[in-house]
Chains A and B, each alone.
Chain A
Amino acid sequence: MSAADRNKRTVTLLIFGCMTMFGFGFALVPLYDVFCRITGLNGKVDLVAATPSEVVDHSREVKLQMVATNNEMMPWQFRPETTEVKLSPGEMYQTAYLARNLTSKFMVAQAVPSVSPSEAAPFLQKINCFCFERQPLKGTEERAMPLVLSVDPALPRHITTITLSYTLFDITPEDSTQLTLLGRSSL
């Protein structure tokens, strides 16, 4: 092979390598999500209802803290009914988060949960959660959004405090016709 041919081959291979790595950069986006979902890292929580466990472990109590955060520019009032509670693993607990639309307009919100420490995330079982569906509120309307949960008795013993945090996002559709349709169907 002549030097020019060898150069051509080297350059082709290296440009191919560059393209692959550019693609890999974008592939990291879904890969990262998939990785967290499989391993349960990053406190990612399944958004499906869990079946409650039948045994209650009365030998210990876990402190459950509840936190509410508004995402930027989300003009609702959003807070937990109770901020802290002590639960025995397996015990069913019912509470609510209070939301109030402070604007005069119809809005739709979605709450996204996060659990800290992330190790506890798979053991916090939400039997019913307002985060499973979107929350439409008319202007100035207020609602108590129900939350039923229990802590799996299989929770590792070294975890004594679990923080459950909800962040509220504004997902009001920008299209106004869609907005009224959506409002009618879900209210």
Chain B
Amino acid sequence: MNTSVAATHHHGPASGIGRWLFTTNHKDIGTLYLWFSFIMFLTGGCMALLIRAELFQPGLQLVQPDFFNQMTTMHGLIMVFGAVMPAFVGLANWMVPMMVGAPDMALPRMNNWSFWILPFAFSMMLLTLFMEGGAPNFGWTFYAPLSTTYAPPSVTYFIFAVHMMGISSIMGAINIIATILNLRAPGMTMMKLPLFVWTWLITAFLLIAVMPVLAGVVTMMLMDIHFGTSFFDAAGGGDPVLFQHVFWFFGHPEVYIMILPAFGIVSEIIPTFARKRLFGYASMVYATASIALLSFIVWAHHMFTVGLPLAGELFFMFATMLIAIPTGVKVFNWVATMFRGSMTFETPMLFALAFVVLFTIGGFSGLMLAIAPVDFQYHDTYFVVAHFHYVLVPGAVFAIMAAAYYWLPKWCGRYYNETMGKVHFWCSFIGVNITFFPMHFIGLAGMPRRIPDYALQFADFNAIATVGAFIFGFSQLIFLYNVISCIRKGKPADDRVWEGSHGLEWTLPSPAPYHSFSEPPQVK
């Protein structure tokens, strides 16, 4: 092994499948992560389209309720753990070493492990669909006792899959922290780090803090199901509400794990295309850190209706609303960065702008949900579905797409087709809004989430949402085609790629060489 590593060190990547199986190169592993997450995105997307097709009309047309529940559960789990999180880890793998001037990640061998666990975890989870009793059907939040006493037998496979994903995420996070803390180029002080690196550093600490709690809660489930304990079983002295407390102690920081790197990406892209420095760099760093800290004390806003005491409702309501302040700082900083900039609207910028606008809409519906008394009406309705899809799809997913378009010329040395990119953007933008905006209305009108059939009064908006979902879903094929044709025959890109680009990664040739920064660059 040693000789082959030494050999690849001088001659670039190994050939054949072995390159991908045994690679310790951060660029290879980043590519693997990104393709994996795209496959998962399409898989989870097909499930979403099945859900939307069933909801096109009231009544049961395509699937039975139990299978519908399996689809909502698997869609959520795959999108959260299979699409969004690995995509961010993939971007971190590609970009963090290049942005801090490091030759590779700090722990390359572990990096290989943390990726290759994922395909096994998700194969195991997807195979539950073909098991007797079906796949997990209790929602991605897997509340006990639905996920313990009443769960299908496949829940055990689900638990082990979650354990594996957790181990993968923790290893990835350790690697990223070690890289950022120990491998920065001389002169790259903490307050000179690009914001994408900063947001990922904070995200990695969040992962270290909460993924073990997720592992803990699924372990408790495992013990309740198989070893006769009663963590969540009232008959044995346990408490089902305890499950929700422990789960959301993980779950709320988790939603920031899915959005903080997106903040970082947008903070890289907007200055490039506004041709101005990022407004308020230091305040961005502090805002990110305070969002991360606040995320630990707001978890019960997901459980306003479980019967919290008044003091608890008030505490979690005000703590949640407090998060709007650092988030507002970020949004205003992005707007101030664009103010009087000489802006151009290439595809990454379009996605970044859509991110700012649509994420803010999702943030506002989040503020509405934070108000405990009105949450009693909104809880478990489509309003919640609209809210978290607005922050995750045009939030996290749009940021990932913006990042892919932004750095693609650096990765493969070729430009994507700009016109096709814009078509992809507008189809996605229109599709997303047609899909999720009507969900606000049907949610406020009282349509519950996670149901395969609904009252007639909700029919029109559901039909519209389904049309939007198909537009959004199929427009992702444009993205796939654009990326493949870019890799094959795109127009060659220069080193800077974008006129307004700044940062260490743009000092490297395009495509970025297999081994970069073997000699650390000097940062002034």
Contacts and interface: CB of A to CB of B under 8 A. Distances in A.
Interface in B70-114: 106-107
Contact of A10 (B149, B170, B181, B249): B181
11 contacts: A6-B182, A7-B182, A10-B182, A21-B208, A21-B211, A22-B216, A25-B217, A25-B249, A28-B242, A28-B246, A119-B310
A118 B235 contact: no
B178 A11 contact: yes
Interface string B225-245: 000000100110001011001
A3 B185 CA distance: 12
A14 B182 CA distance: 14
B232 to A, nearest CB: 10
B178 A22 contact: no
B183 interface: yes
A78 interface: no
Given A10-B182, A71-B235, 8 more contacts: A7-B107, A17-B209, A21-B208, A26-B216, A71-B234, A118-B307, A169-B235, A171-B235
A48 interface: no
Interface in A134-154: none
Contacts of A10: 106, 174, 177-178, 181-182
A59 B231 CA distance: 45
Contacts of A41: 308-309, 311-312
Contacts of B234: 71, 112, 167, 169
Contacts of A11: 107, 174, 178
Interface residues of B, number: 38
B505 to A, nearest CB: 21
A116 B307 CA distance: 9
A118 B213 contact: no
- The 7 tightest CB contacts between A and B, nearest first, are A25-B216, A22-B212, A21-B212, A25-B213, A6-B182, A41-B309, A10-B178
A18 B205 CA distance: 10
B518 to A, nearest CB: 14
Given A21-B212, A32-B245, A170-B235, A15 B183 contact: no
A19 interface: yes
In terms of DSSP, what is the predominant structure of the interface of chain A? Answer: helix
B220 interface: yes
A26 B170 contact: no
Interface string B150-174: 0000000000000000000010011
A21 B209 contact: yes
Interface residues of A, number: 34
B218 to A, nearest CB: 10
Most B C-beta atoms less than 10 A away, residue of A29, A112, A116: A29
B210 interface: yes
B178 A28 contact: no
A165 B250 CA distance: 31
A24 B249 CA distance: 11
B220 A26 contact: yes
B309 A119 contact: yes
B253 to A, nearest CB: 11
A11 B174 CA distance: 6
A42 interface: yes
A84 to B, nearest CB: 21
B215 interface: yes
Nearest to A17: B208
B307 A18 contact: no
A10 to B, nearest CB: 5
B97 to A, nearest CB: 13
Interface in B172-202: 173-174, 177-178, 181-183
Contacts of B209: 17, 21
A6 B213 CA distance: 27
A17 to B, nearest CB: 5
Nearest to B214: A25
B488 to A, nearest CB: 38
Contact of A25 (B177, B212, B241): B212
Given A14-B177, A32-B242, A71-B234, A19 B182 contact: no
Contacts of B239: 32-33
Contacts of B310: 119
A21 B213 contact: yes
Given A29-B242, A41-B311, A21 B210 contact: yes
Contacts of A118: 307, 309
Nearest to A8: B178
With a 10 A CB-CB cut-off, give which of B149, B213, B312 has the most chain A CB atoms: B213
Contacts of A24: 212-213, 216
B309 A42 contact: yes
Contact of B249 (A26, A28, A117): A28
Interface string B109-135: 000000000000000000000000000
B213 A3 contact: no
Contacts of B149: 72
Interface string A159-176: 000000001011100000
A25 B311 CA distance: 24
Contacts of A33: 239
Contacts of B213: 21-22, 24-25, 28
A42 B234 CA distance: 14
A24 B308 CA distance: 22
